[in-house]
Structure 1
């Protein structure tokens, strides 16, 4: 695996650590603040622009008492200043008194800006069955 691929995987891990720890400050550090940024939570419509995306994460974090996320990376590709990671997310979430488990296929697209990889697009789709 190339140094670039490793750097993208590290940024991907940073995103999921922030997600799992419900750490908005860490999430802000790895996500692009661009108006063209997109986020598609499993089963939801596309959210465009960092302000709206940030609000969606705040809402998820407030509703969630505990999170565990296991990842299975399928592919990581880098082309110039753009890269993507395709993976399976296995999420265990405790919200209120309910324990929820879900598997999603996810694609995370990163853009390198000023030498650092930022998440510009996150798309999760539920795996049925």
Structure 2
């Protein structure tokens, strides 16, 4: 896809075509705003979606995924990330974004630069693009340990 974006943090102007890039932009807008209702609107509901990352572990179904976001959003740490260095491929009913996230995790007393490898898989259901799966990983074990400490105390 030729979208000319090198980074997505949710502040971008959506194309307005209801396509997968608009769904990706909306995901990052909602995540960075700690907007659980916005995330609900972009994730597939029910038992189908899944998430696997070193903070939340494996979560299956929207309810488990939402529980993980709620814990993050209600904690003292505020996380802001941007998706970059990504590829994009898809067909009529699926779309895959593979790249990296960079950003910051801040508490009232500390700040930490964060970096993740990230995959986001969207499917088209009932005419709308919804996130079906997210996988995240971390290259730097010290950053992961510091991030977990800031998130979980």
Cross-structure match for 1:128: 140
Higher RCO (CA-CA < 8 Å; seq separation 6+): 1
Bigger proportion of residues as strand = 1
- Which of 10, 15, 24 aligns to 2:22? It is 10
Q: Given the two structures, how large is their TM-score scaled by the length of structure 1?
A: 0.87
> SS state of the match for residue 115, structure 2?
strand
Distance 1:100 1:111 in 2: 33
Which ranges in structure 2 are unaligned for 5 or more consecutive residues? 4-17, 142-153
**Count of aligned residue pairs for this structure pair:** 127
TM-score (norm 2): 0.74
1:120 CA drift (Å): 0.8
What SS does the corresponding residue of 2:134 show, helix, strand or coil? strand
1:27 corresponds, among 39, 44, 48, to 39
Matching residue within 29, 34, 50 for 1:38: 50
- Counterpart residue number, 1:101: 113
The structure-2 alpha-carbon separation of the partners of 1:120 and 1:65, relative to structure 1 and needing over 3 Å to count, comes to same
Tell me how large the CA RMSD over aligned residues is: 2.1
Change beyond 3 A, Cα 1:58–1:36: same
Radius of gyration: which is bigger?
A: 2
The unaligned stretches of length 5 or more in structure 1 are none
Shift, 1:68, TM fit = 2.4
